[in-house]
A and B are shown apart, each in its own frame.
Chain A
Amino acid sequence: MEKKAVRVAYGEALVKLGEKNDKVVVLDADLAAATMTNAFKKAYPDRFYDCGIAEANMVDMAAGMSTMGLIPFCSTFAVFAGRNYDQIRNGVCYPKFNVKFGFSHAGITLGEDGGSHQAIEDLALMRVLPGMTVFVPSDANECYQCVDAAAKIDGPVYIRTARLASPVYDPRPFTVGKGTVIKDGKDCVIFTCGIMLEHTLEAVDLLSQQGIDAALVSFHTLKPFDEELAREYTAKCKKVFTVEEHSIIGGLGDTVASAVIGHGVEKFMKIGINDVFGQSGKPADLLIEYGLTGTQIADKIKNNL
């Protein structure tokens, strides 16, 4: 199966968007080669602004630029969402400015750079901001859709992307705020987001080999959240598991929990980073260390049914 890092798709999507819309400008903070905005820089050098290693200034400059009718896309590592959080909150979200954030290298699969660089909290930070749309594309094709949708939304949008190359699935219909049923099932439901789709798909396969028919639902939009779909599958399957490459505090798991509470939940388990920081290592080793491989996910589900 073709593999491509979601961040690479982000760079490509920006170039396509830039072709269609000359109001799109891109800002980066000395990480264009990593966030992949260098593709846009090459295509439209006069619409690319390097801000230097100054993430806070980048965000408020973007806020100012948006008041001139431009659509700024800011990029840096997801871990620096904490670095410029006040600027995102008060500079962009509070006045509801039209600024987009394409933050890459999220989660532990960032790998060797280690815990200081592995964002496990960005979804929690973004989800709590009024008016913010939060996207977590699961593959390259969904990332193209998220970037296109972001440009059409009048207001702040956060797009979380991953460093690691991951499978590219056939394009699926896309509506902002709607979850996607990847597989129907009756014994339990797995809710996931981002590149954990690959590992939950593997888990679903392993479970079915053991006679467990699990439904799988993926959410490219964490906010606004598709509460209806989450409730429908909770009512149907009763046993709910959430899988994310993020802290189990404040991310997908808690989003699902607040949606489905009181809707027939018999069992609820969050699978993710258990309130600890990450560390250096190869992405494959880290997935094992933090219990996020297909086999480990399947085992956790089986043992908790």
Chain B
Amino acid sequence: MSKPTPPLPRWADIVLLPLINLLAALVLCGLVIFAIGENPFAALKVMINGAFVYQGALGYTLFYTTSFIFTGLAVAIAFHARLFNIGAEGQASLGGLGATLVAFAMAPIPGIIALPLAIGSAALFGAAWGIVPGYLQAKRGSHIVITTIMFNFIAAALLVWLLAGMMLEPGQFSPQSSLLPEQTWLPKIHEMLGWIGLKTTATPLNASFLIALCACLFFWVLVWRSRLGYEIRTVGQNQEAAHYSGINVARVIIITMAISGAFAGLMAINQIQGVSHKLILGFTAGYGFTGIAVALMGRNHPVGIFLAALLFGALVQGGTELDFEFTVITREMVLLIQGMIILFSGALAYMFNPPLARLLARIFGTKEDANA
């Protein structure tokens, strides 16, 4: 027991601390870039331009953001029940499979029915892939971290088997399916803007971005306004008290994992129904894992998750640009920057908490103190 740390005011916890973490990561990256002989400020400028300013940049950024929102929400909802879902990657893969299978089955059916069904199927397949580890945790006590990791491998293997086998497009040599029926494609945002007469650059940004925003709202209502959300939070805080109060803890764990899996599964619609229009091996691109960082940085709150997803989207998009413009800065360098940000805002999220809290307490003379 050392010095008591005063708690951070809420605004500082939500806004200031993440910004400081981000800054720290950027400073460190800047030093690395400087060390390899490039100007860190020039690099930063390219990153920002690449992510937001260049023509179509924002569309690309928001396209990645969409995927991160879904996986971030997936990790966050599980976390409200104190479940560490590492399996968003596998659940997203299954979501892709679900969307693809239903889309093919819907070949003769009009889009108005086929499209939502394919989307729902992505969510459903993802949910199913979340339910199994949830069930094993709830009824058998198998640790969710272990099972969800195993399920990532199973999902990956399943997709390889299908895409290299019965789902492989005839005449193709890379593991991917044939094109989905067109009416199951999600409209692009630039197309949608075109319907109302606005001309914008074509980007991969598609209607799933709007679905992601709805998902954020749904998440908020679910967690803080619904009876189920109360049960989820109660189970997350204290399982014994939840049991005492009549909540069926096992049921809540399973349902939470289903919802979590469904969010993760929806990430697939952005990639598959939105852009590639076919199931491609490895389309999840590790975004399921990035979701963990997004949820951590976003403090498991939809607004925070949106902002964190935007940041990671900008990193991916801006990073690609960096790779283009500087010869010494390679893809690996970009990964380093991402890693640094994950490190500071995820793993070391609270490193600056005590000094910041003390500083603020000194400035504002807060009287509140930690309940030691």
Q: Do A and B bind each other?
A: no
Binding site for B on A (CB under 8 A): none
